[in-house]
Amino acid sequence: MNSSPAQLLSAQNVNQLLDSVQAFLFDCDGVIWKGDKLIDGVPETLHMLRSKGKKLVFVTNNSTKSRSQYANKFLSLGISVTEDEIFSSSFAAAMYLQLINFPQHKKVYVIGEQGILEELQLAGFTALGGPEDGKKTAQLKSNCLFEHDKSVGAVVVGLDQYVNYYKLQYGTLCIRENPGCLFIATNRDAVGHMTDLQEWPGAGCMVAAICGSTQKEPIVVGKPSNFLMEFLLKKFDVSCSKMCMVGDRLDTDILFGQNAGCRTLLVLSGVTTESVLQDPSNKTQPEYYTSKVSDMFDLLRP
């Protein structure tokens, strides 16, 4: 939607952006926090935006937590956010299954963590796998048959720190052998900031593993999929052009915003460096970029 080079956010253009936007969609990792550490100036900035009547939405591809777990994480960092303001890819997976009327008698196998299981259960689905299968091992010996539940109709794959061969085999068998079984990816981020010091393999790692063994491509429900944006638009009564997506990733956050016709602001506090942004090989240009979210607050001060 925006092919001209990104503009640096400045005291000159920040007012125009704030005046024309009714809702800010924030990515979390690398924008609000890094690992368990709040990024400087975030509380003041969110408070300033709320005081100007802006709607705030927190959209995260990290599927390890449910919305209620995210609300607790915000609270522990001193920020008050309601569950209704949070859209995690774990929640998106559950909403996707609800939207397609996934049959209640079918089960969902999870390669992922607690957040996915919780959201699936809250939405009324029967979920298998997840953390519970983290200690299981697959017995590879003659005459051994690995049993899997034939009533699994969808495999949801997200970030899984306890991924193992058992889960990979279980998910692979369901997708290869259960007729019509869906392969749903919460997201495909290559790496994430699970601690504040370095990057770690993201859901893109586990999702690719299942692509490798099934030779199928997943339905992606997190950023930058259209599914999540359409869902957000239904929930909030704001037109795309009055929404601004704020994120640290070009290939998920900024693309997600641009695909929907939203305004976009890249922050350099996460995975994207200025040299990556400015590199001629980079085809995704946000409308604005700045070092961190609180620049919005600082630039507004007289």
Residues with active-site annotation: 27, 29
Q: Is 149 annotated as contributing to ligand binding?
A: no
Q: How far is the CB of 191 from a second copy (least distance, A)?
A: 6
Q: How far is the CB of 37 from a second copy (least distance, A)?
A: 7
Compare residues 127 and 205 and give the one whose CB is closer to a second copy.
205
Query: Which residues lie near a second copy (CB under 8 A)?
Result: 35-37, 138, 140-146, 160-165, 168-169, 172-173, 176, 188, 190-191, 194-202, 204-215
- The 8-class DSSP code of residue 272 comes to -
Q: Is 196 annotated as contributing to ligand binding?
A: no
Compare residues 83 and 217 and give the one whose CB is closer to a second copy.
217
Compare residues 169 and 259 and give the one whose CB is closer to a second copy.
169
Q: How far is the CB of 18 from a second copy (least distance, A)?
A: 32
Q: Is 223 annotated as contributing to ligand binding?
A: yes
261-268 CB contacts, 8 Å cutoff, 24+ apart: 261/1, 262/25, 262/229, 263/17, 263/20, 263/21, 263/287, 263/288, 264/2, 264/288, 265/9, 265/17, 265/289, 265/290, 266/6, 266/290, 267/30, 267/31, 267/291, 267/292, 267/293, 268/292
Q: How far is the CB of 235 from a second copy (least distance, A)?
A: 30
Burial class of residue 18 (count of CB atoms within 10 Å of its CB; 0-12, 13-18, 19+): middle
Compare residues 97 and 194 and give the one whose CB is closer to a second copy.
194
Q: Is 27 annotated as contributing to ligand binding?
A: yes
Buried b (16+ CB within 10 A) or exposed e, 105-143: ebbbbbbbbbbbbbbbeebebebbbbeebeeeeeeeeee
Annotated binding-site ranges for Mg(2+): 27, 29, 248
Annotated binding-site ranges for substrate: 223
